[in-house]
């Protein structure tokens, strides 16, 4: 597991370590079975992604607003999506929706080559500054993640942290053969179904459906209705 250089006793006091360990135990009890993912969540100081006044709430298994209509995802959701992605060290991964940068750091702790894109400039700048302080090396971009980053494709995995009305076809095209797209799909205001789509060949995909979640909406060209296309299975 990759260490984060800022994790000193000052930045990560024993009280926060204990809260984080309790959260990891809770996630294990809720059914998160991938020990690598649990170790990554233990390695990342979630309280540093919060305003200091709210740091005491950082290890609750809840989502919290971070501004611009976005949230830092519930830890269970982060663990769930990361487990479905099955990231391996060295995998080139695209994260659509950097947000606070917390999910990005969990992926980095797993040793991936991360490319992360955020549409909202204020969140992008905030996450970039924090990840720099943490010594977390990721390629960060400000732009429309719904259409991916084709200049860096193909990806072994693509993780979408917002609710798409349909599977963005541009993201499917950027998967490597054997690559996995994890994306919540469904209407805003209702539960979305978590999907994992695996590219089996250049022209065929396998679609799997999992549990329901609630996410903020994906924005951008790839989330527009006219972009909807069927997925081969």
Annotated catalytic residues are 73
DSSP-derived 3-state class of residue 131: helix
Please report the sign of the dihedral spanned by the C-alpha atoms of residue 54, residue 192, residue 89, residue 114: negative
Beta-carbon contacts of residue 159 (< 8 Å; ≥ 6 apart)? 81, 82, 85, 93, 94, 95, 96, 103, 107, 182, 183
DSSP string, 75-121: HHHHHHHHHHH---TT-EEEEE--TTSHHHHHHHHTT-EEEEEES-H
Helix 35-43 / helix 75-85 crossing angle, nearest 10 deg = 130
Spatial distance between the Cα atoms of 115 and 140, rounded to a whole number of angstroms: 6
Q: Tokens at residue 53, please?
A: 């006044």
Q: Are 193 and 212 in contact (CB under 8 A)?
A: yes
Q: Which candidate, 37, 42, 71, places its Cα nearest to that of 59? A: 42
Distances (CA, A) of 191 to 22, 91, 185, 213, 215: 28, 30, 9, 5, 8
DSSP 179: E
């Amino acid at each position: 597991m990759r260490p984060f250089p800022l994790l000193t006793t000052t930045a990560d006091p024993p009280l926060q370590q204990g809260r984080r360990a309790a959260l990891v135990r809770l996630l294990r009890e809720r059914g998160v079975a991938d020990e690598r993912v649990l170790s990554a969540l233990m390695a990342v100081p979630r309280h540093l992604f919060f305003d200091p006044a709210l740091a005491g709430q950082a290890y609750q298994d809840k989502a919290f607003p971070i501004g611009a209509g976005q949230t830092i995802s519930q830890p269970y959701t982060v663990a769930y999506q990361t487990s479905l992605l099955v990231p391996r060290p060295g995998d080139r991964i695209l994260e659509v929706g950097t947000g606070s940068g917390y999910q990005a750091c969990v992926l980095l702790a797993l040793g991936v080559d991360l490319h992360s894109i955020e549409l909202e400039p204020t969140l992008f700048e905030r996450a970039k500054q924090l990840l720099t302080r943490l010594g977390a090396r990721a390629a960060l971009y400000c732009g429309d993640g719904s259409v991916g980053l084709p200049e860096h494709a193909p990806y072994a995995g693509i993780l979408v942290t917002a609710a798409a009305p349909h599977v963005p076809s541009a993201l499917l095209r950027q998967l490597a053969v054997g690559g996995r797209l994890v994306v919540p799909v469904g209407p805003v205001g209702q539960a979305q179904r978590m999907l994992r789509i695996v590219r089996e060949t250049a022209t065929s995909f396998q679609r799997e459906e999992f549990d329901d979640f609630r996410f903020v909406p994906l924005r951008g060209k790839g989330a527009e209705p006219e972009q909807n296309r069927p997925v081969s299975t």
